[in-house]
Amino acid sequence: ETTMRSNFIHNMIDEDLAEGKYQEVYTRFPPEPNGYLHIGHAKSICLNFGTAKKYGGKCNLRYDDTNPVKEDMEYVNSIEEDVRWLGFEWDEKRWASDYFDTMYDAAVQLIKKGKAYVCELTAEQMKEYRGTLTEPGKESPYRNRTAQENLALFEDMRAGKYGDGEAVLRAKIDMSSPNINMRDPIIYRVAHATHHNTGDKWCIYPMYDFAHPIEDAIEGISHSICTLEFEDHRPLYDWVLNEVGFWNPQPRQIEFARLNITNMLMSKRYLKKLVDEGTVSGWDDPRMPTIAGIRRRGYTPEAIRSFCDDIGVAKSNSTVDFAQLETSVRDDLQFKVAARNVVMNPIKVVITNYPEGQIETCEVENNRNVPELGEREIPFGRELWIDGDDFMEVPVKKYFRLFPGNEVRLKGGYFITCNEVVKNEDGSIKELLCTYDPETKSGTEGGNRKVKGTIHFVEASTAVKIKIREYQTLMIEDEEGNLELNPDSLHETWGYAEPSVSDVKAGERFQFFRKGYYIADSELTTDDEKVFNSIVSLKSSWKK
Ligand code: ATP
Ligand code: MG
Ligand code: MG
């Protein structure tokens, strides 16, 4: 848990440290504050913060706010809450927009060296001039402007003499490069928009590929870890650092495969749409792949961290089975949470040979795997509720739970035998008339007698009615394998719980005995009404 599993990035870092290239490992997690973080970001957080921790280095939280949009404090706050919830703390918190002056100076320096020029091709023309994978690009007619001319025009851009899209600053690299990213990429654009941090100071903004290496270099980042889409951008990353050139040592960009999980759509843009259109209740809807969503769903930070570690760090894209994430959650919860008896689709059991009005106490263990979690007391009486799944009027083969004529153990209580099924007028079951064997109380000699089925129960007069929310994945695959919205991702039901559940506080997790793991919803649970989210079922079909 404390040491992260080694991966190819760590091998590269080991080499760099052995060669003395860097004195210390310094990473950063650079989110754009334009939405809530999702589980893909969790992978990046675990990798960046975890790597720094492993090497005794540092990791910054850097807001990549080079786009002039209004800052949304809600997003900023959520990002910080999520990083901390995952168990990490940044060394420094930085804003990329604080470096706009340095970036501007770097651009001027490039112009003076003849390595950048102001180009007035339209976006359409520029696309045409850029060429294709098989065809080299064409040089812009503005490419050979003098440094002096470019300095003046760039100053005009900065002074607001151009409208949006009327001029850009381009790096002068190589229009015939096989790498399209190197065909005189745009490094500055005009955007007349108010920036949350710099206000109206700028009407030109640096492009990601120009800004990011400078941000890394300013902060003394040693290893700039990013996702695979940026592999083809690495030559440009290095070009910027080499040409701008006063950084020593230079940061090293390393790419890894982004995390994909079956039936999980990870795109802030798409998730924002679901929130804005009200398809989900918010960014923290328990079905959302956001960190806020999975937190409310009941997943633990330990489970997410071990999941991210278990799946490793890959050099090529692949998709992890959602069941593997659930396994990590289950593996963590099984040693942490106590059980509570809850029955759904309840069926009434009347124990005809048990005294009316009498209630006695039974002791049950909280967690078989963890004796330290102790025992709790639950009431037993003449009328009980059992789970709808635990009775069959006409049993199928190998059904060992309750059916007419059969005897089962009530976990923590007594053995009961079903004698009669009483029906309502519509044919549905009204109640089961049963008898108990007084010699079989759990914990006594008689309770050791062998019986094939064990089920659980909730005493009827003290039962607490609770709301239960069961989930399926928010997205499902259509016939072509594309993800589409699952029309049936939330199923609301209810159940009867043992009396202690009336004291449950929002955020508390339990195993609903023999059912699965549940958490009292942080938004919907009140003193009077307990609403539980299903976290994960007890068993999975996924095999390690
Ligand atoms: P999205 O497309 O969901 O908006 P993004 O990459 O644009 O994601 P950023 O805020 O820029 O979002 O991401 C911050 C960091 O998280 C980046 O370094 C990015 O590479 C990383 N990241 C984003 N998605 C994933 C993912 N699915 N797996 C691993 N890392 C990711
Ligand atoms: Mg991004
Ligand atoms: Mg994005």
Q: Which residues contact 396 (CB under 8 A, 6 or more apart)?
A: none
Angle at the Cα of 254 (from 249 to 258), degrees rounded to 5? 150
Ligand 1 and 57: CB distance under 6 A: no
Q: Is 32 an annotated catalytic residue?
A: yes
Structure tokens at 376: 């709790």
The amino acid sitting at 236 is L
Instruction: Give pLDDT, residue 1.
Output: 47
Closest Cα partner for 517 from 331, 288, 388?
A: 331
Which CATH number does 265-333+464-497+504-544 carry? 1.10.1160.10
Structure tokens at 1: 């848990």
Q: What would the pLDDT profile of 43-85 be if each residue is shown by its tens digit?
A: 999 999 999 999 999 999 999 999 987 668 899 999 999 999 9
Q: Ligand 2 center to residue 85 CA distance, Å?
A: 22
Residue 456 near residue 410 (C-beta atoms within 8 A): yes
| Rg, the chain, Cα only | 31
Buried b (16+ CB within 10 A) or exposed e, 132-151: eeeeebeebebeebebeebb
| All CATH 1.10.1160.10 domain ranges in the chain, comma separated | 265-333+464-497+504-544
Q: Ligand 2 center to residue 65 CA distance, Å?
A: 10
Instruction: Give pLDDT, residue 540.
Output: 65
Query: In which residue are the tokens 């079905």 written?
Result: 287
Instruction: Give pLDDT, residue 483.
Output: 93
Q: For ligand 1, pick from 9, 29, 41 the residue to mutate: most ligand atoms within 8 Å of CB.
A: 41
- The CATH architecture annotation of domain 339-463 reads Beta Barrel (2.40)
Q: What is the pTM of this model?
A: 0.95
Ligand nearest to the CA of residue 45, numbered in listed order: 1
Ligand 1 and 338: CB distance under 6 A: no
40 belongs to an annotated ligand binding site: yes
Q: Ligand 2 center to residue 427 CA distance, Å?
A: 60
Q: Which of 258, 272, 376, 514 is catalytic?
A: 258
| All CATH 2.40.240.10 domain ranges in the chain, comma separated | 339-463
257 belongs to an annotated ligand binding site: no
DSSP class per residue in 144-172? T--HHHHHHHHHHHHHT-S-TTS-EEEE-
- Alpha-carbon distance 250 to 232, whole Å? 18
Instruction: Give pLDDT, residue 544.
Output: 41
- Alpha-carbon distance 332 to 500, whole Å? 24
Instruction: Give pLDDT, residue 444.
Output: 94
489 belongs to an annotated ligand binding site: no
Q: What would the pLDDT profile of 263-278 be if each residue is shown by its tens digit?
A: 999 999 999 999 999 9
259 belongs to an annotated ligand binding site: yes
Query: In which residue are the tokens 């440009």 written?
Result: 236
**For the chain, which residues score pLDDT lower than 70?**
1-2, 70-71, 246, 540-544
Q: For ligand 1, pick from 60, 221, 227 the residue to mutate: most ligand atoms within 8 Å of CB.
A: 227
Q: Which of 5, 32, 80, 376 is catalytic?
A: 32
Count of Cβ atoms closer than 10 Å to residue 502 Cβ: 15
Which CATH number does 100-208 carry? 3.90.800.10
Residues for the chain: how many in total?
A: 544
Q: Which residue stretches of 312-356 are H helix?
A: 322-333
Instruction: Give pLDDT, residue 366.
Output: 97
Q: In what order do the strands lie in the sheet with 58-63?
A: 26-29, 58-63, 93-95
